[in-house]
Amino acid sequence: MLGSTHGTLTTDSRRARAIACGEHPAQVVHGRPAEAGDLDVSGRPLYADVPDLDRLFRPESVAVVGASDTEGRPNTGITRQLLAWSERVGARLHPVHPTRESVFGIPCVPSVADLPEQVDLAALLLSDPLPVIGELAEAKVKFAVAFASGFAETGAEGAAAQERLAAAVARAGGLRLLGPNTNLNAFERFRDDLDGPAIALITQSGHQGRPVFSLQELGIRLSHWAPTGNEADLETADFISYFAERPEVGAIAAYVEGLKDGRAFLLAADRAARRGVPVVAVKVGRTETGARTAASHTGKLTGADAVVDAAMRQYGVIRVDGLDELQDTATLLARARRPRATGAADPRPEGVVVYSISGGTGAHFADLATEAGLPLPTLSGAKQAELHQWIPDYLSVANPVDNGGHPVGDWRGPRILDAILDDPAVGVLICPITGPFPPMSDKLAQDLVAAAERTDKLVCVVWGSPVGTEAAYRETLLGSSRVATFRTFANCITAVRAHLDHTRFTGAYRSPFD
């Protein structure tokens, strides 16, 4: 197992937190006293601590410290958004300000100590949140969010201020802190009219999560967004562990600049691997320029990239380079049937079949897929003979399967799809549609969605039209929570390869912590 002895894999923040609370760092695991089987020979936990973050994302009561309704001030915009968000999630909001009687018509209290009830979440609209940490602890507030910047991302002085903030939170006992240098991403409007497994999003840079969050407009469900910022307390590993336990989460997507606590990250990735929940990540810092920029953004040291890359591979974290790959790969993995976890061999087939109305399209995609290492098996003679019941004999159906176009327009289309998906060697069907050609492409899209509902195998479509407003794409394909739809060959191939790799990984995974 890769140890935590290199680059950013040296810090153990949970030990520091325990020590700050006057405890031995190995005394508590999962909120209970640690037992011998929970610890390694050095006294460190063998399992990820899973924080209860329910009241962070769905609080019953919220305090806004530094609330404002004076137009033109930054705090006013934040207060307004928090008020709207609280109304959506059904939380009671309490403005806190020493000189205001009310904010947006809501009675205001002068300090945290004057709150009329114990609150779950405190939003700190303060340039320096440190002075109120003690008050929050006294009031037994469960979570605080610090938006202020000027900490580790600014250099040595800011790093020292962040250490003081982290130590104060640790001493506060039950209080957990998101930030500092975070934003309002956790309090966005999440659509509640979408079905299927959801993507949970973690970002150390809020803006980098925007493309993934926008997937909701394409019918893809998101359940949470955790903008971790500088991670003085709560960190990426905490959210991976929490999301891996959420039944609605089909995949976790992350933008990572640096790992605060290497062992905590490995333990969280181990928990996700045990549960069969895929984690897809963009990790910056491959180059000296990227590493330097990350340090000035959130104060993260990116560490030796080769070490981080190896650690991610060992624990099944799927590393991608672009945000477009992040959104497409996470979407496919969320929608694919989850692989069997905990070391059991997964019997599902890996064969990929390319099915197209155009021989040229099929050949082009097959070239790219084969070069990328996707397994494209030749269909058996019996299967080819079955397909030639509906497809002219002069067309090749060995794989790729070329139907020539006309069969998709009538009753033959569904039978061809079912015959392919019934093949025991086939695990994935990919249909590249390079451009709309209604009614042919419309009928094909409808048949693909219907076929995906009849099978537990993966059905993928590449809709190559640059327009993206066609009804077959916007309404039929994107309206299905079973079909994974892409706009480029490359992203489809990357995502399918990640799916097959993750299935093999999870089926054979043996935790090094056992």
Please identify, among 335, 366, 399, the residue that sits at the C-terminal boundary of a domain: 335
Whether residue 47 lies inside any domain: the answer is no
165 shares a domain with 114: yes
CA atoms of 7 and 479, how far apart (whole Å): 45
396 shares a domain with 258: no
What is the CATH classification number for the domain harbouring 217? 3.40.50.261
Q: In terms of residue numbers, what domain contains 459? A: 351-508
What is the CATH classification number for the domain harbouring 63? 3.40.50.720
Q: Is the dihedral of CA 115, 90, 86, 211 positive or negative?
A: positive
Whether residue 233 lies inside any domain: the answer is yes
Please identify, among 335, 369, 404, the residue that sits at the C-terminal boundary of a domain: 335
Whether residue 437 lies inside any domain: the answer is yes
322 shares a domain with 200: yes
pLDDT in tens, 326-367: 999 999 999 998 765 555 555 678 999 999 999 999 999 999
Q: What is the mean pLDDT of residues 97-101?
A: 97
67 shares a domain with 168: yes
User: What percentage of the chain exceeds 70 in pLDDT?
Assistant: 88
Query: How far does CA 282 lie from the centroid of its chain?
Result: 10
- Return the pLDDT at 303: 56
- Return the pLDDT at 298: 56
503 shares a domain with 476: yes
Q: How many CB atoms lie within 10 A of CB 200?
A: 27
326 shares a domain with 196: yes
121 shares a domain with 168: yes
CA atoms of 117 and 23, how far apart (whole Å): 30
320 shares a domain with 401: no
pLDDT in tens, 393-439: 999 999 999 999 999 999 999 999 999 999 999 999 999 999 888 88
204 shares a domain with 226: yes
- Return the pLDDT at 47: 83
Whether residue 278 lies inside any domain: the answer is yes
Q: What is the pTM of this model?
A: 0.89
Q: 238: closest CA among 202, 211, 273, 213?
A: 202
Q: How many CB atoms lie within 10 A of CB 31?
A: 9
3-state secondary structure of 412: helix
Q: How many domains does the chain have?
A: 3
242 shares a domain with 192: yes
277 shares a domain with 399: no
Please identify, among 119, 149, 178, the residue that sits at the C-terminal boundary of a domain: 178
Whether residue 291 lies inside any domain: the answer is yes
Whether residue 514 lies inside any domain: the answer is no
User: What percentage of the chain exceeds 90 in pLDDT?
Assistant: 80
Tally of residues, the chain: 514
